[in-house]
Chain A
Amino acid sequence: MKMSRWISMAAVFAVGLFTSAGAMAQQPHPWQMNFQKAATPVMEEIIWFHNWLLVIEVAIVILVLALMLYIVIKFNAKANPVPSKTTHNAPLEVIWTVVPIIILVVIAVPSMKLLFTMDKAQNPEMTLKIIGNQWFWSYEYPDHGNFTFDANLTQKEDLPDDKKSLYLLEVDNHVVLPADTSIRLLFTANDVLHNWAIPSFGVKMDTVPGRINEAWIEVPSEHMGTYYGQCSELCGVNHGYMPIAVDIVSKADFAAWVEKAKEEFARVDEPAVDVARVGARPATAGR
């Protein structure tokens, strides 16, 4: 049938368009039309499911467009001077109610599978704690000596000439995490809502004062490298100026970095303020 050929052509086009992502897209690149490269199994699933959705959606749009073009050609006042009087067609109405329901079921099944896959980490090997602040990120490594550091935006003038395109993505202190490791991410915030997002990881989680959210990642060693993201919840004046940079390194390199980091960065100690003495009040500054 003519229509089904159109749909399958569109589907091929759509899949081609959105799966031919470049191999280097750890950061966005000019005129990009699709996702950044997946670094985690979860993001691969997201991209797969999105492409499946896109095929269905492009087919729907093309069906409607084709029907409208047909209507414009066949049923304009010149071509069809006497309008029909049809106002009902029960079988047709049943079909366009039932077929969308079937399409939704076809969408819902993989959607639920993806959703439940993305849920909490199974047996995470380490934890990274992520804290949103106006307007920088703080990170804590509770399983590696509980050191902490802040990551601030690198100003444009401080970037080398060949790295200017990283402005608004680059920070002074990268988060370093090991490959091939199941990592639990814990999120909270000190002041307002922020959102920690790395497109390639398929992670985007609000950091909410007074709450701890959880997500997980596991990056296979073939995807070692640097990944960038940006704060994804309006958090005030400098919302656009608190990016995220993560280095995924081998386990050995990670161990070496931890040793260095323990020296370089402060330890998170027990409450710096004696709550019993000062009286309970909202945390304001620091961590």
Chain B
Amino acid sequence: MSDAAAAHDHGHDDHHGAPAGWRRWVYSTNHKDIGTLYLVAAMVSVLIGGVFSFMIRLELQSPGLQYIEDLQFYNVLVTAHGFVMVFFFVMPALIGGFGNWFIPLMIGAPDMAFPRMNNISFWLLVVGLLLLMTSALVAGGAGTGWTVYPPLSNATFHSGAAVDFAILSLHVAGASSILGAINFITTIMNMRAPGMTYHRMPLFIWAMLVTALLLLLALPVLAGALTMLLTDRNFGTTFFEASGGGDPIFWQHLFWFFGHPEVYIMIVPAFGVISHVVSTFSRKPVFGYLGMAYAMAAIGFIGFIVWAHHMFTVGFNVETRAYFVLATMVIAVPTGVKIFSWLATMWGGSIEFRTPMLYAMGFIFLFVVGGVTGITLANAGVDIAFHDTYFVIAHFHYVLSIAAAFGILSGFFYWFPKMCGKMYNEGLGKIQFWLMFIGVNILFFPQHFSGMAGMPRRIPDYPEAYAGWNFVSSIGAYISFAASLLFFYIVIQTLRSGEKAPANPWGEGATTLEWQVPSPAPFHTHDQTPDMRPQPAE
């Protein structure tokens, strides 16, 4: 992929005196180059994580152990798939990639507030990914699931260095994200063009601000928990050890206090992307702008007070569960506001169904499907039947593997002409969308059935009765995998032989500032701060 990256931004900025060769990338303090690096890292990661999931589906295609003899290896695959996709694909693509590229462009700033910190944010991410790969390769790997629940993750049951490497990986990736979040918040709060008040910021900027605040508040909690686990493992503390007066459930509280905001960290940026795409291709301004902005803020806030709905089977008293049921269901209200506002934005529009718009509409519909199963799971009573089954897998892949990934793909096709200066092949893009849409639905919808029938998650082999839907699921996985390969083909083909993109390929609907600079966006943009004061409210 580094070839693609080099080709990607090569040539158009020589006359700006940008550093050349490897120095340009390794030492980069340019928000566009760092954004590109993040996107390349995300693409490498999605290939790694995708191969892991491919192997999982290959093994689960039929009952019995087909390919994987070493069951620890299966657990390592499951764990690494989760880590890679969450921390090294979705987050770098949406936050590091699109955030770095488009926050300065959209708010009229010349660059991020802390360009050098931006550089270290990215390279810490790479270190994190390397540590994670090391973790999978030493001492049998970390077979703990991405939730790393002790006692399974403590020194008794994972005695090698694998879990320590995984912990260090998350620490470093977390530090990377915290630095990035500080950078984003500072940039958005201080470097907006004159006249761009908070209530006039593009919704993607709102989304990134909410996301950065979530990162800033949630990741230190994870860091604290990881540190405690590290000292439990290596220095004889017993934070999570019942035998020493600690409590394994304490870990789960800390983990999910981070983990639930984390799911919004992955989806809120996609909300921002979808708002822009829907508005652009409907040739209408976003409907209910303020409601959209504050819905994201509300989702972010409520995200911090619902964590224990991941823990309905740990043995809480009934009142605690009742609280978390009710708090969780409240999230449906701002989410509903967003869904209906997107539909209202399209309503009365003059819609062009280009690839980004197809992905945006796919996002909206499938996010609703994943959202309603979330309502089911929020109810602790019914969750007893679903907890830790494939129903949960189906639910969170509908909102992550489908919705968040569709958000990434929508944003990628939308902004790719701006980033590389070339147009992708629209026909291929649409084929890629339909292949992906069909693939992921065949992959994940049957998992609702397996889950209802009782199939537990994270098992390498299953009773014969579950064979049918698992086979269908695996077929869907192969289709999705083919769709992913087609995506990479489109990227390479566009970089090599795409037609030159105009500054604004999308027409009058694309109103935000990034469409006013040339395509590809020059190395330095907004040398003159744009004056947003006479503009009417968005």
Contact = CB atoms under 8 A, between A and B. Distances in A.
Interface of A: 27-36, 43, 45-46, 49-50, 53-54, 57, 60-61, 64-65, 67-68, 71-72, 75-77, 80-89, 92-93, 96-97, 100-101, 104, 107-108, 111-112, 114-119, 134, 164-169, 187, 191-193, 195, 197, 199, 202-206, 208-211, 213-214, 229-241, 281-283
A98 to B, nearest CB: 9
A211 B249 contact: yes
A112 to B, nearest CB: 6
Contact of A75 (B351, B389, B456): B351
A67 B343 contact: yes
6 contacts: A87-B284, A87-B286, A89-B344, A111-B379, A193-B151, A210-B247
A50 B462 CA distance: 25
Given A34-B449, A168-B462, A192-B151, 7 more contacts: A28-B463, A35-B453, A87-B289, A115-B379, A116-B322, A193-B152, A240-B456
Contacts of A233: 149, 313, 388
Contact of A192 (B157, B318, B333, B361): B157
B381 A114 contact: yes
Nearest to A87: B285
B388 A164 contact: no
A83 B348 contact: yes
A115 B318 contact: yes
A248 B354 CA distance: 59
Given A49-B381, A64-B368, A208-B248, A75 B346 contact: yes
Q: Is the interface of B mostly helix, strand, loop or mixed?
A: helix
Interface in B459-501: 459-469
Given A30-B467, A164-B464, A204-B387, A115 B380 contact: yes
A85 B508 CA distance: 13
Given A50-B376, A204-B313, A205-B315, A118 B381 contact: yes
Interface in B210-264: 241-243, 247-249
Nearest to B321: A115
B26 interface: no
B499 to A, nearest CB: 21
A32 B465 contact: yes
B4 interface: no
Interface in B382-406: 382, 384-385, 387-389
Contacts of A30: 464-465, 467-468
A204 B157 CA distance: 24
B346 A208 contact: no
Contact of B375 (A29, A57, A85, A234): A57
B318 A119 contact: yes
Nearest to B154: A192
Contacts of A193: 149, 151-152, 248
Q: Which of A67, A107, A192 has the most CB of B within 10 A?
A: A192
B351 A71 contact: yes
A76 B288 contact: no
Interface string B331-368: 01100110111011011111111000000010011001
The list of the 4 closest CB pairs from A to B, nearest first, reads A210-B242, A240-B459, A282-B243, A84-B348
A232 B380 contact: no
B242 A232 contact: no
Contacts of B72: 237
Contacts of A119: 318
B288 A93 contact: yes
A75 B282 contact: yes
Contacts of B373: 57
Interface string B426-470: 000000000000000000000001001111101111111111110
B336 A97 contact: yes
Contacts of A191: 151, 156-157
A86 B321 CA distance: 43
A62 to B, nearest CB: 10
B43 interface: no
B350 A82 contact: yes
A165 B465 contact: yes
A168 to B, nearest CB: 5
B325 interface: yes
Given A104-B333, A281-B243, A31 B469 contact: yes
Given A35-B452, A35-B453, A57-B375, A118 B384 contact: yes
B343 A29 contact: no
A94 B152 CA distance: 48
Nearest to B242: A210
Contacts of B376: 50, 53-54, 57
B144 interface: yes
A31 B472 CA distance: 10
Given A30-B467, A204-B385, A64 B343 contact: yes
A223 to B, nearest CB: 17
B497 to A, nearest CB: 28
Contact of B452 (A33, A80, A134): A33
A233 B389 CA distance: 10
B313 A195 contact: yes
Contacts of B380: 111, 115
A199 B385 contact: yes
A61 B326 CA distance: 22
B340 A96 contact: yes
Nearest to B243: A282
A203 B312 CA distance: 12
B20 interface: no
Given A57-B372, A92-B344, A108-B325, A234 B144 contact: yes
A150 B449 CA distance: 32
B65 to A, nearest CB: 10
Contact of A96 (B247, B318, B337): B337
A35 B365 CA distance: 26
Given A57-B372, A111-B325, A237-B143, A83 B349 contact: yes
B507 to A, nearest CB: 10
B71 interface: yes
Contacts of B340: 96
Contact of B243 (A87, A107, A112, A210): A210
A230 B454 contact: yes
A261 B191 CA distance: 76
Contact of B143 (A35, A96, A232, A236): A236
Contacts of A54: 376
B283 interface: yes
Contacts of B315: 187, 205-206, 208, 211, 213-214
